[in-house]
Amino acid sequence: MKRLSLIIALLFPLLVAAEDGSIVLHPIQSGPKAGVSWGVPFLRGEIRKDTKFILMDNNGKASPVQQWVMASWSDGSPKWIGFASVPDTLNDQLMLMPLARSEERRVAKEFAAESIKSIETESAFIIDNGLFQCTFPKTGEYVIESICYGDNPVALNGRLLLQTEDRSRWNEKILSYKDYTTNINKVTLEQNGPVRAVVKVEGDHFTDKVSTDTVLSLPFTLRFYIYYNDVAIQLTHSFLYDGNPQCDFVKGLGVHFDIPFREEVHNRHVFFSGDRYSYDTIGLWHEPVQPLVGRRVLRPSRSMEERRQDYPMKRPEDRRPEAIQRERENLRRYGLPPQGPSVYHRQMACERIADREEFDESGQALLREWAVWNDFKLTQLNCDGFSIQKRTQQASPWIYSDGGYRATGLVLAGDVSGGLAVSLKDFWQSYPVALEVSNAASRQAGMDIWMWSPEAPAMDLRHYDTIPHGLNASYEDVQEGLSTPYGIGRTHTLTLYPYNAIPSRETVMRWSERGANPPRLLCTPAYYHAKKAFGAHWSLPYNGWASDSVSAVQAGVSDTVVWLETQLDKLLAFYEQAVEDNRWYGFWNYGDVMHSYDGERHSWLYDVGGFAWDNTELAPEMWLWYSFLRTGRSDVFRMAEAMSRHTAEVDVYHAGSLKGLGSRHNVSHWGCGAKEARIAQAGWKRFYAYLTTDERMGDLMHEVTDADWTTLQWDPLRIAKPRSQFPSSAPARLRWGPDWTSFAANWFIEWERTGNKKYLDKLMTGMNCLAALPAGCFTGQGPLGYYPETGKIIYEGPEGATDHTLHLATIMGGFELFAEMLDDIDNPAFQQCWYNYCLYYSMPENDPMRTQETADWGPITSFNTPRLTAYAGWKSGDETLKARAWEEFLRGRRNPYFDITIRPLFGDLYGSTLLQPSDILHTKWEIPNVGTNGSAQWSLNAIFLMTLAK
């Protein structure tokens, strides 16, 4: 590393010159030195594509950054730039500084030696980060062949684990199991330093013993992230389920590493991390493979005089008589004074103990006879309890050792000369999970990180019932053969820590915390707002009203705003607590929330058709992300992150004929027969992808780019408005919203990410077609004709017909998309079309602004969306429209419940009540009439109205 004085001397003139362009960053997860990646937004034309940056801490210490453009504005200037760096600390705010062009080469030269080294051979990629080297084979079954410190391998033969349960003889109560092997299809070096290397591995699983009904392969995508001089490797593991849920039951899913030993069994150790007790305190379970403890004490093979010199006794006159006598007795019996560290004490401190042959005959006898423990495991089969067990051999039983509540998910295995620790993110939240170390008594142990523990019942992905439940009965859109999980996926994040000397307990705790909450650097809410991140119209909160020194009145903040902020905070707190109260955890469930609440049972409607899991219905994901952008709260970030991971993988089809579509809300995440683009659209995924630079989300956004072609096979209105009743000469049909709006989001995001003009052309074609319709976006009472090849939209319905039910167009992300997109894309015709839709969406039928031409444009009464009216007021500068937006929001158009002019009538809209047993199973907080549809939309309206209608 460079001397601090050199860095300051080099960069001081740059700091002064770049002061106005500096960007404040703050960690939402503090910690020591670690590799981290993050995204930063910029205004159109603000910087050049080749502008270089450097990262500075509070002490003036500089760290090099690696950067790449993630998205661009229409003029080609960067809209989002991804950065990667390895700052010395993540405990303080950092500053991202643009470099003057005259200094770029000089700074690059200074940091040239601090770079990842990558070598490509015919058979593998080899990555050296300055601490260790990783080898990634291009073919075969090992996704990572070795991790070495110099010539010392500390982990070998990394591969994936898959086990299935054969129930073909279920009626005979006979089960059998099949083990699958990893098969690598493609390896790509996606990024090659200088700060970070990214290795992408794609493949599938195979076995010779396949089912007669289907061939299950679970295609996977892995990414390994390696940062220069960082102690960790991050691994994202994504897989798709491509089996038949009636016969392909996954029994175990995980990752395996071989751990080679150089030391004898008593110098080998195993750690598990347990419960978190505070931010910096995590329980640790640690035992040697052969604990040096028993009836007799192991003595070093040294003379008594040598031992006396090592552990000198205090003078008799300084000791009480009984203590002197006890020490003499111990010395006589065991030959070792009680003062100072014993062999066992030093072993438990992970110090190297002499090999067996270095002990005398009595010591060697003890080492031969003390038990050697071969296998260890920590198993968490639910979110509220884990156990730790070990055994001496396969022919012996498992012995219970300890247990706890919620394990943080780290396992460490190795000897005092090296080994590996692995942490699984969201460990207990994504149960059933397990960590295992096997064959620790042999020369090479195995380490298994189970994302689905084989000790749990096998995955059962069948639909929750064999009897259909219709829309009228259960709000469930059942369609034959479509309650299928074929093509859904799941992503896990693991952190690998290779080491060449067993780390301290403090280090193991830090590793466990880092794995559970990976380091994140993010901009401030004010910066995101100023740079129009995800649109220019969301509001920053007013927090000063809670201050003792500044009142809301003094700051000029209205009572309405204070009330809104209070309700927004209460609603977020309620949903955070609801996740815990209702145990919304588990492999397939974590990240999602329920749709509707049942006040009679004091329970969410988890078992009633379309009222159960929400699956992005009415944009709760956007609500959480905009809430994070405006507050910067780490708890909101983590909730939004979990939801994005879930909705992007589990609720969406990534393979098969339904690829690019998602499943509407249901008891089973994939159970509803309505498979629609609105659930899978890239607009949901974009927040997490841009804020964190997550490449997996980038894959998933690209994956849905051509989802509009699914309309040829899966007409969105095939049930509600069949083609026989609403014919079209076009090859496909759709609604302009939420079908076309979702396709538009996919195209817009693909275009800003790649510059592929094909998708801008399709977007512009659709805009022009909608703008040309007789009544714009209100035209017709049925589907519109659609041509996937060009994006052309046509209308062939009755002349003068208008639709008063198109509320889904804007409450499934359409409003937020257009509010941002139309700031960058110049299409005056569609600008006017969209303005008209916002203006007339809820305009009263007798409003004097209406003309004969616009008399039937709206109002849409099925869902109250006052941010549309507010947008029209903002666009036109019409204060009357802004006032109407507040009236719609606070009073409601059909059920007025607040008088906006009288503060005391503002009720506690989202105040919750604590329920106690025995009326319910356990204590929980309740809002009797709560529903996620209303919660998400109310919050989004509030967030946008405070800017658009201020």
Q: What is the pLDDT of residue 329?
A: 65
Helix (H) or strand (E) run with residue 105 in it:
helix 101-110
Higher pLDDT, 432 or 902: 432
The gap from C-alpha 397 to its chain's centroid, in whole angstroms, comes to 38
DSSP one-letter code for 89: B
From CA 248, how far away is CA 485, in angstroms rounded? 11
Cis peptide before 498 (omega within 30 of 0): no
Q: What is the pLDDT of residue 647?
A: 98
User: What's the pLDDT tens digit per position in 512-530?
Assistant: 999 999 999 999 999 999 9
Q: What is the pLDDT of residue 351?
A: 94
Position 2 pLDDT exceeds 60: no
**Percentage of residues of the chain with pLDDT beyond 70:** 90
Q: Where are the alpha helices (DSSP H) in 396-524?
A: 471-474, 505-516
User: What's the pLDDT tens digit per position in 871-888?
Assistant: 999 999 999 999 999 999
**Residue-averaged pLDDT of the chain:** 90
Position 169 pLDDT exceeds 90: yes
What is the pTM (predicted TM-score) of this model?
Answer: 0.93
- Strand, helix or coil for residue 803: coil
Place of tokens 């609604």: 735
Confidence of residue 4 (pLDDT cuts 50, 70, 90): very low
User: What's the pLDDT tens digit per position in 910-926?
Assistant: 889 999 998 899 999 99
From 554-563, 664-673, 732-741, the region with the lowest mean pLDDT: 554-563
From CA 69, how far away is CA 82, in angstroms rounded? 6
User: What's the pLDDT tens digit per position in 448-502?
Assistant: 999 999 999 999 999 999 998 989 999 999 899 999 999 999 999 999 999 999 9
Position 325 pLDDT exceeds 70: no
Cβ burial of 405 (10 Å; 0-12, 13-18, 19+) is: middle
Q: What is the pLDDT of residue 323?
A: 62
Name the β-bridge partners of 438.
446
Q: What is the pLDDT of residue 120?
A: 97
From CA 78, how far away is CA 570, in angstroms rounded? 37
Confidence of residue 105 (pLDDT cuts 50, 70, 90): confident
From CA 373, how far away is CA 93, in angstroms rounded? 46
Cβ–Cβ under 8 Å, residues 629 and 683: no
* C-alpha distances out from residue 745 to 44, 616, 638, Å: 19, 15, 24
* φ, ψ for residue 333, nearest 5 deg: -80, -45
User: What's the pLDDT tens digit per position in 229-245?
Assistant: 999 999 999 999 999 99
Sign of CA dihedral 613, 619, 623, 624: positive
Q: What is the pLDDT of residue 341?
A: 60
Place of tokens 């979110």: 383
Residue 691: which region, alpha, beta or left (left: phi > 0; alpha: psi -120 to 50)? alpha
From CA 439, how far away is CA 256, in angstroms rounded? 13
From CA 382, how far away is CA 428, in angstroms rounded? 7
Cβ–Cβ under 8 Å, residues 415 and 403: no
Mean of the pLDDT values across residues 178-187? 96
Position 554 pLDDT exceeds 90: no
Q: What is the pLDDT of residue 678?
A: 97
User: What's the pLDDT tens digit per position in 190-200?
Assistant: 999 899 999 99
User: What's the pLDDT tens digit per position in 769-795?
Assistant: 999 999 999 999 989 999 999 999 999
* C-alpha distances out from residue 222 to 164, 429, 486, 681, 800, Å: 21, 21, 20, 23, 54
Strands lying side by side in the sheet with 521-523: 62-63, 53-56, 94-98, 23-27, 521-523
User: What's the pLDDT tens digit per position in 112-125?
Assistant: 888 999 999 999 99
- Strand, helix or coil for residue 629: helix
Mean of the pLDDT values across residues 209-237? 87
* C-alpha distances out from residue 284 to 265, 273, 410, 505, Å: 21, 5, 9, 8
Confidence of residue 319 (pLDDT cuts 50, 70, 90): low
User: Which of 837, 845, 934, 839 shows the shortest CA–CA distance to 889?
Assistant: 934
* Tokens, residue 463: 């639909």
Position 321 pLDDT exceeds 80: no
User: What's the pLDDT tens digit per position in 47-92?
Assistant: 999 999 999 998 888 999 999 999 999 999 999 999 999 999 898 8
Cβ–Cβ under 8 Å, residues 731 and 788: yes
Position 552 pLDDT exceeds 80: no
Three-state secondary structure along 655-683?
A: CCCCCCCEECCECCCCCCCCEEHHHHCHH
Three-state secondary structure along 133-180?
A: EEEEECCCCCCEEEEEECCEEEEEEEEEEEEEEEEEEHHHCEEEEEEE
Position 297 pLDDT exceeds 60: yes
Give the β-pairing of 433-438 and 444-452. antiparallel
Position 894 pLDDT exceeds 50: no
Higher pLDDT, 538 or 21: 538
Cis peptide before 634 (omega within 30 of 0): no
Mean of the pLDDT values across residues 122-138? 97
Position 212 pLDDT exceeds 70: no
* Tokens, residue 914: 């604590």
From CA 137, how far away is CA 151, in angstroms rounded? 18
* Tokens, residue 6: 């050199």
Q: What is the pLDDT of residue 110?
A: 81
- Strand, helix or coil for residue 412: strand
Q: What is the pLDDT of residue 745?
A: 98
Mean of the pLDDT values across residues 392-414? 97
User: What's the pLDDT tens digit per position in 802-840?
Assistant: 988 888 999 999 999 999 999 999 999 999 999 999 999
- Beta strand segments in 279-374, E: 281-288
* Tokens, residue 716: 């969105």
From CA 36, how far away is CA 195, in angstroms rounded? 10
Cβ count near 253 (within 10 Å)? 26
